[in-house]
């Protein structure tokens, strides 16, 4: 008994993760090469419908943030639902247009837009540039002049609010690189009359990601109102108000909460964001639309009893899903089609030569053996898009089910 002590981490089977995958799916997966991304398109469509339903109630406009997932099979139903697109690179603008998003619903954000990217967006007459610095505004003005166009822009402002999320995914605090800092507002107003090729139509903000506390959105609206009033008092009117994205999803209980609480989210903004009936309100939702429809399916290559830990070494790694390594993110991990009486707490780790290459620690799973399948859930957002070829890894394919 004493010898086994560090390894004696057997758990009750009642703590076991029960997979949502059916035996038929498990059987199908077992015949497939791993790792791969699995996307449930029917859940995606349900999520789109629920988001659209609650947005419509307030006449809100949703722009899907492409950076969460850019697969064409994912983009098409979102574009077909009439959503706009939120892009953060020139290539995302091109991908959005190719997938069927209307150019007059494309917004383009990002702190470091290159000249080439700005020209691309101008050439396609996108709806709006979300401008993040005074210098960028001058460059857009210059490039628009060269192109013989007027660029419509929104000023991205930093509301300086603290939010409850991992500090790597906050974007609206005093230390973040995003948005035009309030200290530049005066200079911006002085400069504007000289910029004849930009037209300021909107005010924009985005405070971060994976935010589940509605108070964070409420506080953002209150700060946003203040900033908007300041600009109005100084002679700048906005037709469009864009409050960004950031609505979180339930990584812990994906089956209990497959669809985020869009209703509370939109109701909160509707209640606290001041607007005139003429002002259009825009959102940029990424994660909340696509996270839950995706899983990363991986196979156990080896099990190993370390000095103090029991490892399940799987064939997917941080090259497919970097969120745990990058943001200490939690993903639910389930065994798929594994029947075992015993269960153990495993550190589920990848093959990449980095100690941060893990998916979960002390994850209670049925006793695993080589060849068993695991599903890493809620991997539809910021998963496949962050794929890297580190260690000369091959790109994991995507499979779709309707």
CB within 8 A of 39, min separation 6: which ones?
71, 73, 74, 293, 294, 380, 398, 399, 400, 401
Contact call for residue 65 and ligand PLP (CB under 6 A): yes
Nearer to ligand PLP (CB atom), residue 88 or residue 313: 88
Question: Taking every pair of C-alpha atoms in the chain, what is the biggest distance, in angstroms?
Answer: 80
Least separation in angstroms between CB 381 and ligand PLP: 6
| Cis, peptide link before residue 272, omega less than 30° from 0 | no
Q: Which stretch binds ligand PLP (CB under 6 A): 190-198, 252-260, 278-286, 367-375?
A: 278-286
Nearer to ligand PLP (CB atom), residue 209 or residue 343: 209
55, 131, 382, 385 from 76: Cα distances, Å: 19, 27, 18, 16
Least separation in angstroms between CB 86 and ligand PLP: 5
Contact call for residue 227 and ligand PLP (CB under 6 A): no
Contact call for residue 206 and ligand PLP (CB under 6 A): yes
Q: Which stretch binds ligand PLP (CB under 6 A): 233-241, 279-287, 309-317, 349-357?
A: 279-287
CA atoms within 13 Å, Cβ hemisphere of 328: 4
Contact call for residue 348 and ligand PLP (CB under 6 A): no
Helices (H), 178-233: 185-191, 214-233
DSSP assignment of 294-331 equals EEEEEEEEEEEE-SS-EEEEES--TTT--HHHHH----
Least separation in angstroms between CB 268 and ligand PLP: 15
Cα(154)–Cα(166) distance, rounded to whole angstroms?
Answer: 27
Contact call for residue 323 and ligand PLP (CB under 6 A): no
Least separation in angstroms between CB 206 and ligand PLP: 4
Contact call for residue 220 and ligand PLP (CB under 6 A): no
Cα(297)–Cα(320) distance, rounded to whole angstroms?
Answer: 10
Nearer to ligand PLP (CB atom), residue 17 or residue 291: 291
Nearer to ligand PLP (CB atom), residue 245 or residue 294: 245
Radius of gyration (Cα) for the chain, nearest Å? 23
Contact call for residue 68 and ligand PLP (CB under 6 A): yes
CA atoms within 13 Å, Cβ hemisphere of 84: 23
Contact call for residue 228 and ligand PLP (CB under 6 A): no
Cα(129)–Cα(113) distance, rounded to whole angstroms?
Answer: 10
Nearer to ligand PLP (CB atom), residue 144 or residue 154: 154
Nearer to ligand PLP (CB atom), residue 113 or residue 206: 206
Nearer to ligand PLP (CB atom), residue 77 or residue 246: 246
Nearer to ligand PLP (CB atom), residue 17 or residue 151: 151
**Position among 90, 172, 202, 246 found at the interface with ligand PLP (CB under 6 A):** 246
Least separation in angstroms between CB 366 and ligand PLP: 33
**Position among 245, 260, 294, 324 found at the interface with ligand PLP (CB under 6 A):** 245
Contact call for residue 86 and ligand PLP (CB under 6 A): yes
Helix, strand, coil % over all residues of the chain, rounded to 5 = 35, 25, 40
Contact call for residue 244 and ligand PLP (CB under 6 A): yes
**Position among 34, 43, 61, 67 found at the interface with ligand PLP (CB under 6 A):** 67
Contact 163, 213 (CB under 8 A): yes
Contact 74, 285 (CB under 8 A): no
Least separation in angstroms between CB 369 and ligand PLP: 37
Least separation in angstroms between CB 112 and ligand PLP: 12
Q: Can you state the angle between helices 41-57 and 262-272, rounded to 10 degrees?
A: 20
DSSP 207: -
Contact call for residue 287 and ligand PLP (CB under 6 A): yes
111, 112, 139, 142 from 135: Cα distances, Å: 11, 11, 6, 11
Contact call for residue 109 and ligand PLP (CB under 6 A): yes
Least separation in angstroms between CB 200 and ligand PLP: 17
Cα(340)–Cα(4) distance, rounded to whole angstroms?
Answer: 20
- The residues of the shown chain that bind ligand PLP, judged by CB under 6 A, are 65, 67-68, 86, 88, 109, 206, 209, 244-247, 284-288
């Amino acid at each position: 008994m004493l010898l086994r002590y560090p390894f004696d981490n057997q758990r009750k089977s009642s703590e076991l993760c029960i997979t949502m995958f059916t035996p038929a799916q498990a059987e199908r997966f077992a015949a497939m090469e791993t790792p791969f991304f699995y996307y449930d398109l029917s859940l995606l469509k349900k999520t789109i419908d629920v988001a659209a339903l609650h947005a419509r109630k307030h006449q809100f406009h949703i722009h899907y943030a492409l950076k969460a997932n850019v697969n064409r099979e994912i983009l098409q139903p979102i574009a077909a639902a009439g959503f706009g697109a939120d892009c953060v690179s020139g290539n995302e603008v091109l991908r959005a247009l190719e997938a069927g998003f209307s150019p007059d619903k494309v917004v383009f954000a990002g702190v470091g837009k290159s000249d080439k990217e700005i020209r691309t967006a101008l050439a396609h007459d996108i709806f709006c540039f979300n401008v993040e610095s005074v210098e960028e505004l001058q460059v857009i003005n210059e490039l628009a002049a060269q192109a013989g166009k007027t660029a419509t822009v929104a000023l991205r402002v930093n509301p300086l609010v603290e939010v409850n999320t991992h500090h790597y995914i906050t974007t609206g605090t005093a230390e973040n690189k995003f948005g035009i800092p309030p200290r530049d507002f005066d200079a911006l107003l002085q400069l504007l009359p000289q910029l004849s090729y930009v037209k300021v139509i909107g005010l924009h903000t985005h405070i971060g990601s994976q935010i589940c506390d509605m108070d964070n959105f409420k506080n953002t609206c209150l700060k946003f109102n203040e900033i908007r009033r300041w600009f109005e008092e100084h002679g700048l009117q906005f037709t469009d108000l864009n409050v960004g994205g950031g609505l979180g999803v339930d990584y812990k209980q994906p089956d209990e909460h497959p669809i985020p609480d869009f209703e509370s989210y939109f109701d909160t903004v509707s209640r606290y964001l001041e607007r005139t009936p003429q002002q259009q309100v825009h959102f940029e939702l990424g994660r909340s639309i696509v996270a839950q429809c995706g899983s990363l399916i991986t196979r156990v290559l080896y099990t190993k009893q370390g000095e103090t830990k029991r490892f399940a070494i799987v064939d997917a790694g941080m090259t497919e899903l970097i969120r745990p390594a990058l943001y200490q993110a939690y993903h639910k991990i389930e065994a798929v089609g594994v029947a075992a009486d015993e269960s153990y707490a495993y550190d589920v780790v990848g093959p990449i030569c980095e100690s941060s290459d893990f998916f979960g620690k002390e994850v209670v799973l049925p006793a695993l053996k080589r060849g068993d399948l695991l599903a890493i859930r809620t991997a539809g957002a910021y998963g496949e898009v962050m794929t890297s070829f580190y260690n000369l890894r091959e790109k994991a394919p995507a499979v779709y089910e309707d």
